[in-house]
Amino acid sequence: MKSSRKVGFLWQLQTSLLSLMIAQGTLLGLPASAQLRTDSNSATPNGSSLSYSQFLRYIDEGRVLKVDLYESTQTAEVELESEDGKGGPRTVRLNLPVNDPDLIRKLRSSEVDLAVWPNPPGRLAWGLLGNLLLVGLLLGSLVLLFRRSGSMGGPGQAMNFGKSRARFAMEAKTGVLFDDVAGIEEAKEELQEVVTFLKKPERFTAVGAKIPKGVLLIGPPGTGKTLLAKAIAGEAGVPFFSISGSEFVEMFVGVGASRVRDLFKKAKENAPCIIFIDEIDAVGRQRGAGIGGGNDEREQTLNQLLTEMDGFEGNTGIIIIAATNRPDVLDSALLRPGRFDRQVMVDLPTYKGRLGILQVHARDKKLADDVSLEVLARRTPGFSGAGLANLLNEAAILTARRRKDMITMLEVDDAIDRVTIGLTLNPLLDSKGKRILAYHEIGHALLGTLLPHTDPLSKVTVIPRSGGVGGFAQFEPAEEMGLESRAKILDEITMTLGGRTAEELIFGDAEVTTGASNDLQHITSLARQMVTRFGMSDLGPVALESQQSEVFLGRDWMSRSEYSESIASRIDQQVRQIVTHCHSEARRILSAHRVLIDRLVDLLIDQETIDGEEFRQIVAEYTPVPEKALSVPHF
Ligand code: ADP
Ligand code: MG
Ligand code: ZN
């Protein structure tokens, strides 16, 4: 509504401008048009026009009363006495030959009223009108442009964008305590001190210590950085101001900076307090970096932030906590002493940490006795605190949906699959597609069970999941991600190739499916990393490529490893050798267990899921599990 009213107003403005110009034009142009009108209506003595010779004759005859000469157009307006002496004089326009000196002499000798003008009056008026129109159009489009750019910031923003509406949140009491944060004990210990700074600053100032201004929490998403910052405020009993870095960055230059000013102003009024800046990398990126130059707005915001941080004394009781998962992109000015000089890592939790987090989130949930948080913690390496919280919540939702009053291990298991792999879809009907899928998954599962360096199978299933997953073989993940041996990576490649290899063995090369594309991507990347990063090939212990991380357009998008063409082709050759070796291993083992495979596939199609224990028992009836350790080949 607001903006449409604005349009109305503008239209009024523009039309009044236009009418003003038209009025001016008419004023000036009126005589000319009147003359023109008279001209076109007048009958010249011999009909429609006056020739030059006629004009000269009329002069001689003394019938010309008045002549207006216009130099620029080489025309003249001539007032003639009416032919029969009756009626008023008539005005006629005619063209003049260029520079006829006789004409002037003749006019002067006959006593004609002669006037010479540079321009005809109508022309001047129309020219002026035209210019005014142009100016008006320009003005109009300028106004339009202004309105357009204003409306980009939302209706009604054009005029008041300088004043930021406070976009930060203030919580007088966060209600979060250190007890609610689990699994990140080192970080908690470091931050315990910050609580003391806020509660008993005199203990530090008494001995001349400066209280740090800023703490940077570094860690992957969902590990509890926000929670930790809130817990500090909660433990110290101080207000908690929070803003996200992305909220600083706005269309209009200067808004982010003014937000920073507002935030610090409010914080100073409420000191002691905590200022929490989430995603600080959104503003705090290396200045002057980025393709196509820096971002002025962001730099201004960052500069303002730095200024504010320098501006208050260390002991005013404001502590700034910032969070990021990309400390590498931060401007070095942010990290120097006196700013965010304390950096605390908040990492993904270990087994003990996960157990602690699960215990925190199990507090308010009804768990049946069969649910073992220890087992759950063991099965969830790589989960963040947020992931674990979500997992328990999913289990609780499933329990409610199934109208049970306790969360049992069944719901927990389903919740894990659901958050890791996707929703369960309806099972496929028995078809050729399902058989191919079953052979593929059994290929993975059997190799995973028979190879000596793989993780134990937890289950294999052909129940499809959302996201295009037809089935999967799942392995009990290794306790913590850590050092991986060469033998283990090779076995992983072999196991991953097991799906495609089973398809080939059973159905032949012509029938292999696209289902293995993820597998192939995975093994290619593993094999390549063995060669280029881990020094596990003939090329020797050299790192030819660094870890492939997402390209950060800011700083190092150009830095690529450099090696010669010949090394590049040797890398390719090594990768191929590794894959070929593993492929033939997979083929060898699978073809040696054809009978076992058929039996497992029948069972899988029949019951849709085989769990790890059952699977191992069946395999053990045919062959020792795992097969004797193979010697690890060299390439
Ligand atoms: P981050 O800020 O690191 O992205 P959050 O602090 O926002 O993560 O965590 C989101 C949620 O996940 C929290 O509200 C909490 O419920 C849960 N959570 C994350 N880490 C922990 C932890 N260490 N202890 C307990 N709960 C956690
Ligand atoms: Mg957060
Ligand atoms: Zn597969």
Please give the pLDDT value at position 363. 92
pLDDT tier at 627, thresholds 50, 70, 90: low
Question: Active site residue: 279, 411, 441, 504, which one?
Answer: 441
51 occurs within a structural domain: yes
| Whether 70 and 112 share a structural domain | yes
Closest ligand to Cα 473:
3
CA of 613 to the centre of ligand 3 (A): 21
Atom index in ligand 1 nearest the CA of residue 219 equals: 3
| Whether 501 and 381 share a structural domain | no
Find out whether the beta carbon of 386 lies less than 6 Å from any atom of ligand 1.
yes
pLDDT at 98 over 60: yes
> Which of the pair, 507 or 629, is modelled with greater confidence?
507
CA distance 257 to 190: 31
CA angle 225, 231, 234 (to 5 degrees): 150
Kindly give, in sequence order, each residue whose CB lies less than 8 Å from that of residue 340, ignoring residues fewer than 6 positions away.
214, 215, 216, 320, 322, 334
Which residue range(s) make up the domain with 75? 43-121
Please give the pLDDT value at position 496. 95
38 occurs within a structural domain: no
> Which of the pair, 445 or 327, is modelled with greater confidence?
445
CATH code of residue 413: 1.10.8.60
Range 306-328 average pLDDT = 79
| Whether 459 and 506 share a structural domain | yes
Please give the pLDDT value at position 284. 73
CATH code of residue 263: 3.40.50.300
Closest C-alpha residue for ligand 1 atom 5: 224
The rounded percent of the chain whose pLDDT value lies above 70 is: 77
Q: How many helices (H) and strands (E) does the chain have?
A: 22, 13
310 occurs within a structural domain: yes
pLDDT at 22 over 90: no
470 occurs within a structural domain: yes
**Under a CB-based contact definition with an 8 Å cutoff, are residues 121 and 69 in contact?**
no
Q: What one-letter code names the amino acid at 509?
A: D
**Under a CB-based contact definition with an 8 Å cutoff, are residues 295 and 190 in contact?**
no
| Whether 394 and 532 share a structural domain | no
State the chain's mean pLDDT as an integer: 78
| Whether 450 and 581 share a structural domain | yes
217 occurs within a structural domain: yes
| Whether 524 and 586 share a structural domain | yes
> Which of the pair, 590 or 2, is modelled with greater confidence?
590
Please give the pLDDT value at position 21. 37
pLDDT at 8 over 80: no
Closest Cα to residue 581, out of 540, 634, 521?
A: 634
Residues facing 609 on adjacent strands: 461
Please give the pLDDT value at position 209. 79
Range 278-298 average pLDDT = 68
Give residue-wise pLDDT tens across range 473-529. Answer: 988 776 555 678 899 999 999 999 999 999 999 999 898 888 899 999 999 999 999
Find out whether the beta carbon of 222 lies less than 6 Å from any atom of ligand 1.
yes
> Which of the pair, 101 or 384, is modelled with greater confidence?
384
Please give the pLDDT value at position 252. 63
**What predicted TM-score, i.e. pTM, was given to this entire model?**
0.61
CA of 216 to the centre of ligand 1 (A): 16
Closest C-alpha residue for ligand 1 atom 25: 181
| Whether 315 and 377 share a structural domain | no
22 occurs within a structural domain: yes
Please give the pLDDT value at position 437. 92
Dump the DSSP string for 596-612: HHHHHHHHHHHHSEEEH
Closest ligand to Cα 228:
1
| Whether 107 and 230 share a structural domain | no
Please give the pLDDT value at position 153. 41
| Whether 7 and 149 share a structural domain | yes
**Under a CB-based contact definition with an 8 Å cutoff, are residues 232 and 171 in contact?**
no
Alpha helix stretches (DSSP H) within 508-564: 517-532
Token output for 343: 């950096």
> Which of the pair, 434 or 173, is modelled with greater confidence?
434
How would you classify the pairing of strands 240-244 and 113-117? unpaired
pLDDT at 623 over 90: no
pLDDT tier at 146, thresholds 50, 70, 90: low
User: 484 catalytic, yes or no?
Assistant: no
> Which of the pair, 66 or 449, is modelled with greater confidence?
449
pLDDT at 282 over 70: yes
pLDDT tier at 314, thresholds 50, 70, 90: low
Please give the pLDDT value at position 520. 94
Give residue-wise pLDDT tens across range 205-261. Answer: 888 877 778 899 999 999 999 999 999 999 989 999 988 877 776 656 667 778 888
| Whether 184 and 256 share a structural domain | yes
Please give the pLDDT value at position 1. 36
Number of structural domains (the chain) is: 5
CATH code of residue 536: 1.20.58.760
635 occurs within a structural domain: no
pLDDT at 19 over 90: no
Q: What one-letter code names the amino acid at 117?
A: W
Long-range contacts of 572-575 (CB under 8 A, 24+ apart): 574/527, 574/531, 574/537, 574/538, 574/539, 574/635, 575/524, 575/527, 575/528, 575/531
34 occurs within a structural domain: no
CA of 163 to the centre of ligand 2 (A): 27
- Residue written as token pair 């860690």: 219
pLDDT tier at 392, thresholds 50, 70, 90: very high
Find out whether the beta carbon of 118 lies less than 6 Å from any atom of ligand 1.
no
CA distance 440 to 453: 20
Closest C-alpha residue for ligand 1 atom 11: 386
Token output for 37: 């009108």
CA distance 561 to 543: 9
Cβ density class 457-480: b for 16+ within 10 Å, e for less? bbbbbbbbbeeebbbbbbbeeeee
- Residue written as token pair 């009213």: 5
| Whether 174 and 151 share a structural domain | no
Q: Which of 3-17, 299-313, 523-537 has the highest mean pLDDT?
A: 523-537
- For 62, counting Cβ atoms within 10 Å of its Cβ (0-12 exposed, 13-18 middle, 19+ buried), the class is exposed
Best residue among 227, 365, 394 to mutate for probing ligand 1, ranked by most atoms within 8 Å of CB:
227
Q: What is the maximum span of the chain, computed from C-alpha positions, in angstroms?
A: 139
Atom index in ligand 1 nearest the CA of residue 353 equals: 23
CA of 245 to the centre of ligand 2 (A): 11
Please give the pLDDT value at position 526. 93
Please give the pLDDT value at position 553. 43
| Whether 278 and 393 share a structural domain | no
Closest ligand to Cα 440:
3
Residues facing 68 on adjacent strands: 77, 115
pLDDT at 598 over 80: yes
CA of 546 to the centre of ligand 2 (A): 29
